[in-house]
Amino acid sequence: MSTKPTKTLDPVPNPHPEREYEVEIRCPEFTALCPKTGQPDFATITVRYVPGPKIIELKSLKLYLWAFRDEGHFHEDVTNIILNDLVEALEPRWMQVEGEFNVRGGIYTNVRVEHNPEFKRARA
Amino acid sequence: MSTKPTKTLDPVPNPHPEREYEVEIRCPEFTALCPKTGQPDFATITVRYVPGPKIIELKSLKLYLWAFRDEGHFHEDVTNIILNDLVEALEPRWMQVEGEFNVRGGIYTNVRVEHNPEFKRARA
Amino acid sequence: MSTKPTKTLDPVPNPHPEREYEVEIRCPEFTALCPKTGQPDFATITVRYVPGPKIIELKSLKLYLWAFRDEGHFHEDVTNIILNDLVEALEPRWMQVEGEFNVRGGIYTNVRVEHNPEFKRARA
Amino acid sequence: MSTKPTKTLDPVPNPHPEREYEVEIRCPEFTALCPKTGQPDFATITVRYVPGPKIIELKSLKLYLWAFRDEGHFHEDVTNIILNDLVEALEPRWMQVEGEFNVRGGIYTNVRVEHNPEFKRARA
Amino acid sequence: MSTKPTKTLDPVPNPHPEREYEVEIRCPEFTALCPKTGQPDFATITVRYVPGPKIIELKSLKLYLWAFRDEGHFHEDVTNIILNDLVEALEPRWMQVEGEFNVRGGIYTNVRVEHNPEFKRARA
Amino acid sequence: MSTKPTKTLDPVPNPHPEREYEVEIRCPEFTALCPKTGQPDFATITVRYVPGPKIIELKSLKLYLWAFRDEGHFHEDVTNIILNDLVEALEPRWMQVEGEFNVRGGIYTNVRVEHNPEFKRARA
Amino acid sequence: MSTKPTKTLDPVPNPHPEREYEVEIRCPEFTALCPKTGQPDFATITVRYVPGPKIIELKSLKLYLWAFRDEGHFHEDVTNIILNDLVEALEPRWMQVEGEFNVRGGIYTNVRVEHNPEFKRARA
Amino acid sequence: MSTKPTKTLDPVPNPHPEREYEVEIRCPEFTALCPKTGQPDFATITVRYVPGPKIIELKSLKLYLWAFRDEGHFHEDVTNIILNDLVEALEPRWMQVEGEFNVRGGIYTNVRVEHNPEFKRARA
Amino acid sequence: MSTKPTKTLDPVPNPHPEREYEVEIRCPEFTALCPKTGQPDFATITVRYVPGPKIIELKSLKLYLWAFRDEGHFHEDVTNIILNDLVEALEPRWMQVEGEFNVRGGIYTNVRVEHNPEFKRARA
Amino acid sequence: MSTKPTKTLDPVPNPHPEREYEVEIRCPEFTALCPKTGQPDFATITVRYVPGPKIIELKSLKLYLWAFRDEGHFHEDVTNIILNDLVEALEPRWMQVEGEFNVRGGIYTNVRVEHNPEFKRARA
């Protein structure tokens, strides 16, 4: 099998578009490079969303995240980029992306980015 | 004993229908098949509800969940189906079904579906 | 010592009735019988309340819960019964009783019953 | 169903009597009475054994342990009694019974009793 | 060193009185006597507060809590007493005292008492 | 993809047959049927071994364990059968199979079976 | 009830003196005074033993440990004293006393004292 | 490499200033001196913020926190100081600094300080 | 900084070569490619050793492990290769390398490889 | 109070020199400097020993460990140095010093050094 990583996200139709429900997808195997030192960074990426017309298929998401393996990205930036790409591809009612980055220099960093926060607030 | 799995849910009368109380039922032994590969999927299914006129009896729920063993279902779809079936059978004031699916391809998926979310919001 | 279990609850006066404060009492040693099979059931019973004029004394509560040992009760029913008995005896401002029942047939059940939920909502 | 607790143990033949293998059975729902106060005691009973010609069937063990529910026993004594009964019924190559008793008076007690300890030592 | 326990609380000035911030102080080594049996009771006392003009100094609090060692107190009463003493000494904007008492007779008790709950509600 | 479960194990050559090293493979998704009631049983199967000329490939092991899904087996028996099949296919220097079965009737069962225990003892 | 703490240990006869079995008793509520500062120290005391002709009764042990409440003792010393007292009273085949003392000055101390270590070694 | 600790904070531009997102940075290796005794104190410092025009770079934050190593500070004071310095350097939309200080005299202290709490309340 | 990964290991002299002591180094950020599918694999690599004339410097080890990032390796093989490389570079008295590989297809794999096991056995 | 850190260890006489018992002392607040970068390192130092004629007093040990705060040391070296100093001061029957160093560059290091290992082996 020769699957290749790609940033193309292939959504599938949401089987229950009439209902507001929540999906959480956790990927503990994200790795990219540090843009300053070129050394590998590691993170757990968690995507939480209330689907709109489309949902993400797991294999497609895996290939998308894998495609960052040889790219250099800052923590705050890459978490925002992943959110932007997923929002464009899925048109969700609400989405949050969280990146929990491994300790560097004795410091743990966690970035949490949200699309359409009003959706959640109106239902709190 | 030769119990057979069946999707017929046999509710019993709620012994305290006048009160709004909450029941949580957790089933860590749910298994179905992947509709794409035919391979087994595993999940913990949790049902949380505020009963209306009827409550679910444990043996009946066990047989209902067992009946998915040889069927192919996507994660998002099967969680919605279980909610729909239980809502139809129990007519609850409020219900939530959560499916925590085992890791596949390095990714953990969790689907949380709710019936009558207004009930909870009005009491928050 | 020949203490005998009894369902008589002997409250004592609340030493600070002017203040709204909260007490949580957790009893991991509750056991009753299944009314269908006659087999023992086990649960942790947790009582949370904001006292009114009276508070429960621990020994009295212990004897009360012990008195269920040889009785048959369904999960949803016995949790409501305990709440009703304690509310009648203590006249609390607010009370919640939670029963976390041991796994049966691969399923864990948790029942949470509340007296005067408006008290908490007005203070949320 | 009207199963009644009984101290009769019904072993079944060991399906692999030619091999020395180990079985561990953990029962967190053991309860008996304190012979001094008559109050309920609770424990987790764990049976570890290397079967000889017979193995214990789970339902039979459940009924056997249930039969202690209304009897008064000291911690050290009841753990030895369970070992003796199981050794007589099963003729195991080696057996250990451990009773982990719930806290009483701020003190946790654990009793571990062994049949044929030479078996283990010769294989250490 | 011959420090003696005393119920005199010696606050120090709050170095940042202009800001509403929160302090949590947890003391897992509280012990008093049961007023009915004279036997020792043990608890973790946690003080959470938003300081007003004064903050408590740790050594002073340690001596204050130590002074309960030879006194008899009921759970609900002693938690209220500690709150009252600290409120009088510190004049906090808000304060909560929680007592988590060790298991007695198979029952765990937790008492949570609050001063000026309106402060928190207005900021929720 | 239409992979079908099968009990045929396809080992691959051990890349370092000259060295005694240990492999542990844990499969938390084993399910079979209870031969008495026909109801599903669930277990975690762990294989620990010191390879001889061959090692097991993960996909082959996954298909082998999957093939038990519709068969009825007792706990003690199926653990021995898995060991026997793997020993025949791999000719390991040493092997242990452990089955940790989910709670049934309030009882947890664990079966641990070993091939060539003398290997380990001689190296202890 | 006016039980008074006392260092008199009242053993009872071992109900199974013919068998070598092990008892572990854990007391998380031990407190004494620091002989240098007079301040309270806290510890968990664990007694593990293989009984000889006598076993310790829990209430007697509770009163014995309680009697240290107003005495000053160093960590290493008090652990040895408890072992010596228990060995004299019980004449055990083997005994170990472990004191896990709460953190002082950022340092956790643990003292483990053993009577007749040859007993264990001969059976290892 | 001869990096020197300094209290100069060097922020970098926020790559996504248009979006309100949250960053959490946890530093378990903070140490300062006690201003009363001169002895070392240890804490975990956690910074949570919603960036404005600037974000903090990890190395710069590490050097800033390191610069406290030889200074004397009270718990409540140093937590406020860190917040004030970071707010001045970063101009965040919202910020919280939490200091979890190691146990001293059997007491654990936790200080939580917030900048612009209205930001969070308006979005709750 | 433009450090490049390389498989060259640069040991430094052992500062205490006269003593047999043990070093454990755990690297949770190992990643390589699956030689069959080309997809990324993740593992925690732990090196335990008793140094001989040389010890490994952390930066050198980090670069060595990083150099596997774009190579394809089977689990059993890569663990043996790392051991062989480290033994050649460090000439340790004893060494063990353990690879704990992330779940694939519902199966967790752990490989543990040892150099000079006689060293440990002679000291057990 | 103006205690100053010093490397002078002041032992006190062992109160029970006739018995072989074990003391474990854990200090999670050790910090020194990296000799290469000058940056702070953090570790938990654990001392386990069987005392000879002398035992270490906690305050003396605290001051001794504090004295490393401004010194540069490699992990393997400093752990050996602490063992050597303690052995010289205490003349223990047996001693082990373990240093668990915080993660650096994604790698956790643990060094375990032992004095008179024959003592333990003869008693295993």
Other C-beta atoms within 10 Å of H70: how many? 13
- Residue E1 scores a pLDDT above 60: no
Other C-beta atoms within 10 Å of F53: how many? 12
- Residue D99 scores a pLDDT above 60: yes
In chain D the beta strands, taken as DSSP E runs, fall at 11-13, 22-33, 40-50, 54-56, 94-104, 107-115
pLDDT single digits (tens) F45-54: 999 999 999 9
CA distances (Å), origin G3, targets E37, G29, G63, J41: 7, 17, 8, 53
CA distances (Å), origin C57, targets B92, C61, C89, C93, H92: 37, 6, 12, 17, 52
Residue I96 in any domain: the answer is yes
- Residue J123 scores a pLDDT above 70: yes
Q: Residue G114 is inside which H or E element, if any?
A: strand G107-115
Query: What is the structure's pLDDT at J5?
Result: 84
Lowest mean pLDDT among B14-18, H34-38, J47-51: H34-38
In E3-91 the beta strands, taken as DSSP E runs, fall at 11-13, 22-33, 40-50, 54-56
Residue numbers in chain G where pLDDT is lower than 50: 1
pLDDT single digits (tens) H92-105: 999 999 999 999 99
pLDDT single digits (tens) A16-54: 999 999 999 999 999 999 999 999 999 999 999 999 999
Residue A9 in any domain: the answer is no
Note the residue count of chain D.
124
Q: Which residues of E are catalytic?
A: 34, 41
Q: Residue F83 is inside which H or E element, if any?
A: helix F75-90
Report whether C58 belongs to an annotated binding site: yes
Nearest CA in chain J to I123: J121
- Radius of gyration of the CA atoms of chain E, in A: 15
Report whether C57 belongs to an annotated binding site: yes
pLDDT single digits (tens) I83-123: 999 999 999 999 999 999 999 999 999 999 999 999 999 99
Query: What is the structure's pLDDT at I2?
Result: 52
What's the CA angle centered on B115, arms B112 and B121, to 5 degrees? 95
Residue C64 in any domain: the answer is yes
Query: What is the structure's pLDDT at D5?
Result: 84
Residue H104 in any domain: the answer is yes
Q: State how far Cα G70 lies from the chain centre.
A: 17
Q: Would residue D113 be called left, alpha or beta, if left means φ above 0 and alpha means ψ between -120 and 50 degrees?
A: beta
Q: Is J41 a catalytic residue?
A: yes
Q: Which domain holds residue E114?
A: 14-122
pLDDT single digits (tens) D60-75: 999 999 999 999 999 9
Q: In the 3-class helix/strand/coil scheme, how is chain A assigned residue by residue?
A: CCCCCCCCCCEEECCCCCCCCEEEEEEEEEEEECCCCCCEEEEEEEEEEECCCEEECHHHHHHHHHCCCCCECCHHHHHHHHHHHHHHHHCCCEEEEEEEEEEECCEEEEEEEEECHHHHHHCC
At residue F75 the predicted structure's pLDDT band, cuts being 50, 70 and 90, is: very high
β pairing state of J54-56 and J11-13? antiparallel
Chain I interface mutation, best of B103, B107, B108, B109, highest count of I Cβ atoms under 10 Å: B103
Amino acid, res. J97: V
Q: Does J106 contact A106 at a Cβ distance shorter than 8 Å?
A: no
At residue D1 the predicted structure's pLDDT band, cuts being 50, 70 and 90, is: very low
Higher pLDDT, I21 or F37: I21
> How far apart are alpha carbons J79 and I72 in whole angstroms?
38
Residue A39 in any domain: the answer is yes
β pairing state of H11-13 and J40-50? unpaired
> How far apart are alpha carbons E12 and A23 in whole angstroms?
50
Residue D1 in any domain: the answer is no
Q: Does F38 contact B1 at a Cβ distance shorter than 8 Å?
A: yes
Domain count for chain H: 1
Residue F10 in any domain: the answer is no
Q: Supply the mean pLDDT for chain I.
A: 95
Share of chain D above pLDDT 70, in %: 98
In I2-121 the beta strands, taken as DSSP E runs, fall at 11-13, 22-33, 40-50, 54-56, 94-104, 107-115
Other C-beta atoms within 10 Å of H69: how many? 17
pLDDT single digits (tens) E26-59: 999 999 999 999 999 999 999 999 999 999 999 9
Residues from chain G that touch H106, judged by Cβ atoms under 8 A, are: 42, 102-104
Q: Does G28 contact E66 at a Cβ distance shorter than 8 Å?
A: no
- Residue D6 scores a pLDDT above 90: no
I abuts G (3+ Cβ pairs < 8 Å): no
Q: What is the ipTM of this complex?
A: 0.94
Share of chain H above pLDDT 90, in %: 90
Query: What is the structure's pLDDT at H1?
Result: 44
Q: Does I111 contact F59 at a Cβ distance shorter than 8 Å?
A: no
Query: What is the structure's pLDDT at I1?
Result: 44
At residue D78 the predicted structure's pLDDT band, cuts being 50, 70 and 90, is: very high
Query: What is the structure's pLDDT at J88?
Result: 97
What are J104's strand-pairing partners? J107
- Residue H2 scores a pLDDT above 60: no
Report whether G76 belongs to an annotated binding site: yes
Query: What is the structure's pLDDT at A80?
Result: 98
- Residue E113 in tokens: 């008492």
pLDDT single digits (tens) E97-122: 999 999 999 999 999 999 999 999 99
Nearest CA in chain G to D78: G15
Q: Which residues of A are catalytic?
A: 34, 41
β pairing state of D40-50 and A107-115? unpaired
> How far apart are alpha carbons G99 and F13 in whole angstroms?
53
User: From the CA of H35, how many Å to the nearest CA of chain A?
Assistant: 25
Report whether F114 belongs to an annotated binding site: no
Residue C65 in any domain: the answer is yes
Stretch F27-31: mean pLDDT, rounded? 97
pLDDT single digits (tens) H13-53: 999 999 999 999 999 999 999 999 999 999 999 999 999 99
- CATH assignment of the domain containing J52: 3.30.1130.10
Amino acid, res. D110: N
Query: What is the structure's pLDDT at I22?
Result: 98
Q: Does E104 contact C58 at a Cβ distance shorter than 8 Å?
A: yes
Chain H interface mutation, best of E10, E12, E20, E21, highest count of H Cβ atoms under 10 Å: E21
Chain I interface mutation, best of F3, F9, F16, highest count of I Cβ atoms under 10 Å: F16
- Residue J2 scores a pLDDT above 70: no
Q: Supply the mean pLDDT for chain H.
A: 95
Query: What is the structure's pLDDT at G1?
Result: 43
pLDDT single digits (tens) E54-89: 999 999 999 999 999 999 999 999 999 999 999 999
Q: Which residues of B are catalytic?
A: 34, 41
Q: Does F24 contact I121 at a Cβ distance shorter than 8 Å?
A: no
